[in-house]
Amino acid sequence: MADATPLLDVRDLTVTFDTDDGAVQAVDRVSYTIDRGTALGIVGESGSGKSVSSLTVMGLTRFAGNARISGQVLFEGRDLLTAGDDELRALRGGEIAMIFQDPMSSLHPFYSIGNQLIEAVRVHRDVSKSQARDRAVEMLGLVGIPDPRKRIDDYPHEFSGGMRQRVMIAMGLINDPKLLIADEPTTALDVTVPAQILELLERLQREFNTAIVLITHDLGVVAEVTDEIAVMYAGRIVERGGKDAIFAAPQHPYTWGLLQSIPRLDLPRGDALTPIPGRPPSLIHRPAGCSFHPRCAFARDVCVAAVPELDDAGQQSGHAAACTLPRPARDQIWAALRDGATPQAALAATTVPVPGTLLESAPAAAAEAAS
Amino acid sequence: MLTFIVRRVLWMFVLLIVISFITFIIFTTLPSADPVLLRAGRRASPELIASLTKTLGLDKPWYEQYWIYLRNLLFHFDFGYSYQNNISVRAQIFDRIPATAGLALGGMVIWLMAGIPIGIVAAVKRGTWMDKAAMGLALVAISAPVYWLGLVMLYLFSKDIGVIPIFEGQGSYPTSGSLFTNPIGVGKSLLLPWIVLAASFAAIYARFLRANLTEVLTEDYVRTARAKGVRERTVIFRHGVRAAITPLVTILGLDLGILLGGAILTETVFNIPGIGRLAFDSIQKSDLPTVEGTVIIAAFFIIFLNLIVDIIYAFLDPRVRY
């Protein structure tokens, strides 16, 4: 927080894809900021717009051809959305790097990893091949590839999934970027590997002082690495705040659902996990008002009437949620839910008046049955 | 790698023997014109027929005939003598190879030079008028039969526009010597056949490459290249085309193998004395040794080029190892 302008300042980013079935609003007025050397976790399920928002930051949705983009993406004060293709290209892989979900398919099968790493260096720096190669060997060593001088000439298919993701991380960090966007970096890996990769990311973030945007569907993953968390649902940020605040006092019913669906070691083993009923909404025909209301056990008529905006009602500054429940009521409901109460009982027990009348909708019954 | 090649070469011999056997059986057991009668002419005396049957070796049972044929082929590389032309089939075929090879290789250069850029442009500019025009043209080129396209071209360019020498008389078509001594003359007279031969291949290759490249450009590793900040031109060629063009090598090997065995239609329309013409003529004259020879040569080219393709593949795709 030494600098007044944040490293990345995303304001009201909206991305719409025109398809044959209609306009898909993948990202809807998303705003977040990230400072130098900090880590932000963007959490949400498939189709929540978390990947599209970061691909747009990188300018990679331009290649889709059918994307309409509005808002601002300020990187060190420069708006990347209005930047020229060449200007953006110079930033990509240089100051902003990205690593992807599937390391199996993200490396080119026909070129040795050394070849691909050297290319990444020489696109941005005017160095000789051997200098670039030395840098590549150094980076491979840093990300924990044993015997990098020898393995650099191997092809991607000669590496395991975890090792390939290390190569991808080496490729991302090879030009000392200020910002690294990691899109589900551990999702495609074997169960024993993610912890190692996250540890590596955390260590490298400290060593390089790189800011990280970590995109994941797994709250456990962000808990490891990030300081700030943004929870996305159906293209919108529904809650954001510090990691500790979000885990201790989550404000949005969707976040409650996410937290309750994580297995916990401090609860008796017999307790069933509580799933979130229903499915994510279509982004073409989005539900009126709060997109989460069809799946929310606390949905009332006011939730359908208007889209709730993020409030800054949290005790800690910056902790905000987009929900019509009054803040004291949310605290009481979460406390009750955490102790195993049903949503109905939790809502009935609140002492704070809740606006609107409860919707007679299926999810409440479904949640009832599940608990 | 070496054991792979040795194994494949041995297989090639087995295949060629099987193919020669099948061709032989087809000609000896299925009804066809008696080569002796064709040879002896009208009002041949029974003595002449008997002596011809003996000289051609047709008095022996078919298995003995085949055995003699195979022995000569394997140990002396001797395809026997043509029933019709009284010269060795080997000399006949070797005489014809340059014309066919010149036609096939020149055609290949043209269809690659046309098909590959068109395919790339169509894939990169997908959905634009350029893509639509290119693919529409490709459809026409694929649909147009060689004999029709050949005749249209002949009519247009040799008569109406009259810029290309055609049918200049006997011996106007080049053989191996003049390919090097007189490249311009050869090129001029082969230009039309090359274009006609290349048209449908260029169209098929363009469509194939367009489909492949379209798919490759959505691959994760292309996204990675863009995320690295690689220039879009480099992304398309180094990362996209490099991967999309590899399967084309397989098709190219097959096509070239087939054409080296004789492009019958093109050779016929343009009166090029190639292997295709030779095969066609000798089938009509029941000239078994020549038919056998052309079939074996054609099969050899196909099998051999397949082997070459498989070897090249190991260098193109590092995941392939033998």
Rounded to an integer, the average pLDDT of B264-282 is 86
A278-291 pLDDT per residue, tens:
888 888 888 888 99
Say yes or no: A364 contacts chain B, CB-CB below 8 A: no
Rounded to whole angstroms, how far apart are CA atoms B13 and B8?
9
Chain B residues with CB under 8 Å of A89 CB are 229-232
Chain B residues with CB under 8 Å of A93 CB are 227-230
Say yes or no: A34 contacts chain B, CB-CB below 8 A: no
pLDDT reading at A369 higher than 50: no
Amino acid at A255: T
User: A265: pLDDT confidence band, cut at 50, 70 and 90?
Assistant: low
Rounded to whole angstroms, how far apart are CA atoms B207 and B201?
10
Asked if residue A310 lies in contact with residue A339, where contact means CB atoms within 8 angstroms, the answer is: no
Rounded to an integer, the average pLDDT of A21-35 is 89
Chain B residues with CB under 8 Å of A97 CB are 227
pLDDT reading at A362 higher than 70: no
Burial class from Cβ neighbours inside 10 Å (0-12, 13-18, 19+) for residue B280 reads middle
Q: Comparing A86-95, A216-225, B38-47, which segment has the lowest mean pLDDT? A: B38-47
Quote the ipTM score. Answer: 0.84
pLDDT reading at B37 higher than 80: no
| DSSP state at residue A316 | S
Q: How many CB atoms lie within 10 A of CB B264?
A: 16
A99-152 pLDDT per residue, tens:
988 888 999 999 999 999 999 999 999 999 999 999 999 999 988 899 999 999
Query: C-alpha distances in angstroms, B110 versus B113, B129, B182?
Result: 5, 24, 20
How big is the CA angle at B124 (ends B232 and B234), to the nearest 5 degrees?
Answer: 25
Q: Which of B304, B309, B281, B305 is nearest to B293 (CA)?
A: B281
Q: Among all residues of chain A, which has the CA nearest to that of B239?
A: A108
Average pLDDT, chain A: 86
Is B228 within 8 Å of A90 when comparing Cβ atoms? no
Q: Among all residues of chain A, which has the CA nearest to that of B218?
A: A64
Average pLDDT, chain B: 85
The confidence score (pLDDT) of residue A371 equals 45
The two three-digit tokens of residue A266, written as one number: 């401090």
Rounded to an integer, the average pLDDT of A3-15 is 86
Q: Chain B: nearest CA to A100, how far in angstroms?
A: 8
Q: Chain A: nearest CA to B140, how far in angstroms?
A: 29
Is B230 within 8 Å of A123 when comparing Cβ atoms? yes
For A257-304, what is the HEC assignment? HHHHCCCCCCCCCCCCCCCCCCCCCCCCCCCCCCCCHHHCCCCEHHHH
Rounded to an integer, the average pLDDT of B242-257 is 92
Rounded to whole angstroms, how far apart are CA atoms B289 and A180?
72
B47-83 pLDDT per residue, tens:
888 888 887 777 888 888 888 888 888 888 888 888 7
Of the candidates B223, B224, B318, the beta carbon closest to that of A110 is on: B318
Say yes or no: A107 contacts chain B, CB-CB below 8 A: yes
Give start and end residues of each alpha helix (H) in chain B: 2-29, 35-40, 46-55, 62-76, 89-124, 129-143, 146-153, 176-181, 183-216, 220-227, 232-234, 242-244, 246-260, 264-269, 275-284, 288-316
Of the candidates B220, B226, B228, the beta carbon closest to that of A119 is on: B228
Of the candidates A102, A109, A124, the beta carbon closest to that of B229 is on: A124
pLDDT reading at B180 higher than 60: no
The confidence score (pLDDT) of residue A370 equals 47
| DSSP state at residue A192 | T
